[in-house]
Copies of this chain bind each other. A is one copy, B any other.
Amino acid sequence: MTTGDTPRRGRGRPRTPGAEDRILTAALEEYGEHGWAGFTMDAVAHRAGVGKSTIYLRWPDKDSLLVRAVAARTVTFAGIDTGSLHGDLIELTVRLLRYLHSPGGWAAIRVTFDGASSPERMGDFAADLTWAHSQYVAEICQRAMARGEMVDDLPTGVVSETIYGAAVVNALSERLEGRQDDEEAIRLRAAQIVGTIVDGLRVPQDR
């Protein structure tokens, strides 16, 4: 996920090992503190204790730096398997909400939407990220279908859209209302969202 891949083939002074990380961290911090406006390459360089040239040696421009900074801090939600559809989705949603409520997660959201507007500049990060998210849900659903727990006449994409979407909008409204949701609030919201999706809104008629 880093720029990496450089096999370091010898000739010339090698790139300073720590620099990559320090720059990405500085970038995320600056972005978090000042937003896109006020997100300055000079400030990032200064905060990372690095010259601008060192940054531009690694990333071609401001957009790319931010995208990579976000990508480098992307978390994975793979490997969830509690044994039940409800349990799996709860676990996934809790982790998702936790992430999206963090500065890095919010930055990922913004970069994703920016990326969808100008794919030539922000590259494939957005597509990769949303595809990864849809996969987590797909795996959970496939297991649930195999267990006969879940209807099988529904593309899993709808489920991932619904869960991912609910989490994104929840993070959005947290920011707009100036809330700071704690772990308890997150767990409650996850339960409500998953409950709606698994059990539906209809009043149970006979049970």
Chain A: residues with CB nearer than 8 A to chain B? 34-38, 63, 85, 106, 109-110, 112-119, 121, 123, 126-127, 130, 144, 148-151, 154-155, 157-159, 161-162, 164-170, 172-173, 175-177, 189, 192-193, 195-203
Contact = CB atoms under 8 A, between A and B. Distances in A.
Main secondary structure of the interface of A (DSSP, over half): helix
Given A161-B173, A162-B196, A168-B168, A35 B130 contact: no
Nearest to A32: B117
A201 B119 contact: no
A121 B149 CA distance: 48
Contacts of A154: 192, 195-196, 201
A202 B34 contact: no
16 contacts: A35-B121, A36-B117, A37-B118, A110-B114, A117-B175, A130-B172, A130-B176, A154-B196, A157-B173, A158-B192, A158-B193, A162-B193, A165-B168, A196-B200, A198-B201, A198-B202
A165 B169 contact: yes
A38 to B, nearest CB: 8
A135 to B, nearest CB: 13
Most buried by B among A110, A123, A175, A195: A175
